[in-house]
Structure 1
Amino acid sequence: MSLRARSALSAVLLTLACLFAPAGALASWATYEIGDSGRYEATTAPLAADPAVRDAIAAATTDGIMREIEVAPRLRRPVRSFVHAAVRSFTQTPAFHVAWDTANAAAHDAVMRALRDEDERTVTLDVAPVADQVRRQLTDDHVPFANRIPVEHTEITVVRSADLAQLRKGYHVLEIAGFWLPVSTVVLTVAGVLVAVCRRRAVLAAGLGTALGAALLGVAIAVGRRMTLSGLPSDVSHAAVGAVYDTLTGTLRTVSWLLLGLGLVLALGALLTERIARRRRGSAGPVPVPPPEPTRVRA
């Protein structure tokens, strides 16, 4: 193989590796972080202590309670204020943390079963056990009309049947890509460096490309957050959704920073080793040749 062909092949391999690195990080995060029940529950559990999330849940629960009771118009505001304060206080109890974990685990299991099975029915979540736990707690706290909170057949729609086919295809792709893209990234990087005519330059290119891909991944996470918040209805808490988004993408942001650091370290190492090699070649230099001795002429 000629030197030009080796350089071209190395450039192609390293370019593919740099493209696969952020895509592999994203696919692995979706498969092994969001798709894994244990990791998902561990990630979302701290959200029960987030003030924005507690405020959003307290507001939504208060709205639900006020829709189920009938009070005089002049009493509606003070009753609502009392109910909201009681529900907000409930969100700071261990019982709320248990209810939060239970609801999150049930929702996640329902979605994952729908994505892995071929059932085309709408995915619903029965929150009656959680609602019953909330009602009993509020009743014990003497919250007015708490016993009227509906708990029988309390279901919410998680994924519509019309969206299941597309989501299932995307999830299957992520499952495959979550394993093979990281492996392909490593293989392509090693092959690109070995094929290269100048391996130091290949390592430099691989490091800079990895750092650039990691930076683009970080930008994509930030843009995704802004798009998610901008598309919310006006009655949805932006602070709560932002807290959920930041929590779910925390590992992905960490991976992007690690990839950025790894790429910069590789690039810096290639530059330093190249400079050291040049200095050694310069200090060695050619061996000086002694001048010839003058020829003596005999008289």
Structure 2
Amino acid sequence: MPPRLRSALSAALLALSCLLVPFGALAAWAAYGLADTGRYVTTMAPLAGDPDVRDAVADALGAGIMREVDHKVHDVRPIRGSVVPFVRDAVRSFTQTRAFRLAWDEGNRAAHDALMRALRDERDGAESAVTVDLAPVTAQVKRQLTRDHVPLAARIPVEHTAVALLPAGELAPLRKGFHVLEVAGFWLPVAAVVFAVTGIALAVRRRRAVTATALGTALGGALLAAALAVGRSLTLADLPADVPHPAAGAVYDALTADLRTVSWLLVGVGLVVALSAWLTRYIPVLYARARDLPARPGYGDEAVRAERGTGGR
């Protein structure tokens, strides 16, 4: 193959490899990171101690409990007036207990399991919305209110109300997209490695090809980190006004923590490999120069005598 054609083909393969790196990392994170229930629950667990998340959960639970009271209990006004302050305080106190952390983990596990089952379900037929039951959390709050002797706390109804996680109409396209991610999450990284190895092997100047590949990988990692930052801003900007942005930001940061680590790892590894490849080009030159230095008779003896003379003074 002519050298010019080899160089052109190598450059094309290396450019394609560098382009696939950030997309491959994103697809692998979505397909194998977010889709794993155990890893998801472990990632979300620390958020049970985040003040913004606790406040958002407390507000949501308190509002839900009072809605149930309004719908199910007669003579609402006297009950609401006496219970609302206790509900608010009890729910906020509950979010600081070990019971809340357990309920948080179980709620996340149940929601994730329901969503993953829906996305992986291949059966034909009518689609139904993805829902999760949060009645166990409400029951724990009710038990705490009862133990605290809050008036009428025992009359707070606890029913198995399905909370919608995903509308039925959005399930089919999301299911197709998830299947695409599962395939892309495996094959995009593999293709990136194959293209890089093939491009370097075809290159006329392989050290230069390695340097270019490493710099392209670092650039891809930097672009991925920038995309995550932009995605965070856009996600928070699109949220409804009643959704607390600090809590949503904390959830976004927790979910994307591994992907941010991967992006900066790509930057670091790429720069280190590029610098190493650039430095190694000078090692043979320095070695050859060291071997070809002409011998200077008496240089060592003169240096020793000069050093001794200086010390004698």
Normalised by the length of structure 1, the TM-score is 0.89
The structural deviation recorded for 1:129 is: 2.5
Given that residues 128 and 154 in structure 1 are in contact (C-alpha distance below 8 angstroms), is that contact kept between their aligned partners in structure 2? yes
**Residue 277 (1) aligns with residue 284 (2):** yes
Given that residues 83 and 153 in structure 2 are in contact (C-alpha distance below 8 angstroms), is that contact kept between their aligned partners in structure 1? no
* Structure 1 counterpart of 2:138: 131
The structural deviation recorded for 1:79 is: 5.2
Given that residues 222 and 263 in structure 2 are in contact (C-alpha distance below 8 angstroms), is that contact kept between their aligned partners in structure 1? yes
Between the aligned partners of 2:228 and 2:153, the Cα distance in structure 1 is 41
* Structure 2 counterpart of 1:98: 102
Between the aligned partners of 1:113 and 1:13, the Cα distance in structure 2 is 38
C-alpha distance 24-143 of structure 1, shift in aligned 2 (>3 A): farther
The structural deviation recorded for 1:147 is: 3.3
Given that residues 14 and 196 in structure 2 are in contact (C-alpha distance below 8 angstroms), is that contact kept between their aligned partners in structure 1? yes
* Structure 2 counterpart of 1:42: 42
The structural deviation recorded for 1:225 is: 0.6
Between the aligned partners of 1:94 and 1:254, the Cα distance in structure 2 is 30
Given that residues 86 and 143 in structure 1 are in contact (C-alpha distance below 8 angstroms), is that contact kept between their aligned partners in structure 2? no
Between the aligned partners of 1:251 and 1:92, the Cα distance in structure 2 is 27
**Structure 2 residue aligned with 1:237, among 228, 239, 244?**
244
* Structure 2 counterpart of 1:8: 8
* Structure 1 counterpart of 2:115: 111
Q: Give the 3-state SS of the residue equivalent to 1:71 in structure 2.
A: helix
Between the aligned partners of 1:49 and 1:245, the Cα distance in structure 2 is 15
Segment drifting more, 273-282 vs 96-105: 273-282
C-alpha distance 207-144 of structure 1, shift in aligned 2 (>3 A): farther
Please, which runs of 5 or more residues in structure 2 have no aligned partner?
Answer: 71-75, 295-313
**Residue 86 (1) aligns with residue 90 (2):** yes
Between the aligned partners of 2:36 and 2:279, the Cα distance in structure 1 is 42
Superposed, 1:1-299 pairs within 5 Å as 1-67=1-67, 68-69=69-70, 70-71=76-77, 76=81, 80-118=84-122, 120-280=127-287
Between the aligned partners of 1:115 and 1:82, the Cα distance in structure 2 is 40
Segment drifting more, 133-142 vs 207-216: 133-142
Segment drifting more, 64-73 vs 174-183: 64-73
The structural deviation recorded for 1:151 is: 2.2
C-alpha distance 7-283 of structure 1, shift in aligned 2 (>3 A): farther
* Structure 1 counterpart of 2:299: none
Q: Give the 3-state SS of the residue equivalent to 1:233 in structure 2.
A: coil
Between the aligned partners of 1:240 and 1:155, the Cα distance in structure 2 is 23
Query: Per-residue displacement from partner, 1:206-236 (whole Å, max 9, x unpaired)?
Result: 0110011000100111111111111111211
Given that residues 56 and 240 in structure 1 are in contact (C-alpha distance below 8 angstroms), is that contact kept between their aligned partners in structure 2? yes
* Structure 1 counterpart of 2:302: none
Give the number of equivalent residue pairs.
Answer: 285
Between the aligned partners of 2:255 and 2:41, the Cα distance in structure 1 is 10
Q: Give the 3-state SS of the residue equivalent to 2:96 in structure 1.
A: coil
Query: Per-residue displacement from partner, 1:165-214 (whole Å, max 9, x unpaired)?
Result: 11011100111111111122222111111110001110110011001100
Between the aligned partners of 2:141 and 2:245, the Cα distance in structure 1 is 24
Given that residues 102 and 130 in structure 1 are in contact (C-alpha distance below 8 angstroms), is that contact kept between their aligned partners in structure 2? no
Q: Give the 3-state SS of the residue equivalent to 2:131 in structure 1.
A: strand
Given that residues 218 and 270 in structure 2 are in contact (C-alpha distance below 8 angstroms), is that contact kept between their aligned partners in structure 1? yes
C-alpha distance 148-240 of structure 1, shift in aligned 2 (>3 A): farther
Cα RMSD of the aligned pairs, angstroms, is: 2.2
Query: Per-residue displacement from partner, 1:100-154 (whole Å, max 9, x unpaired)?
Result: 1111111001100110013521111122223222322232233444334442231
Q: Give the 3-state SS of the residue equivalent to 2:282 in structure 1.
A: helix
Given that residues 83 and 150 in structure 2 are in contact (C-alpha distance below 8 angstroms), is that contact kept between their aligned partners in structure 1? no
2:207 is aligned with what amino acid?
A: R
2:77 is aligned with what amino acid?
A: V
Between the aligned partners of 1:125 and 1:136, the Cα distance in structure 2 is 21
Between the aligned partners of 2:215 and 2:6, the Cα distance in structure 1 is 20
Between the aligned partners of 1:228 and 1:195, the Cα distance in structure 2 is 43
Query: Per-residue displacement from partner, 1:69-121 (whole Å, max 9, x unpaired)?
Result: 53359x84x85343222211101111111111111111001100110013521
Between the aligned partners of 2:150 and 2:19, the Cα distance in structure 1 is 57
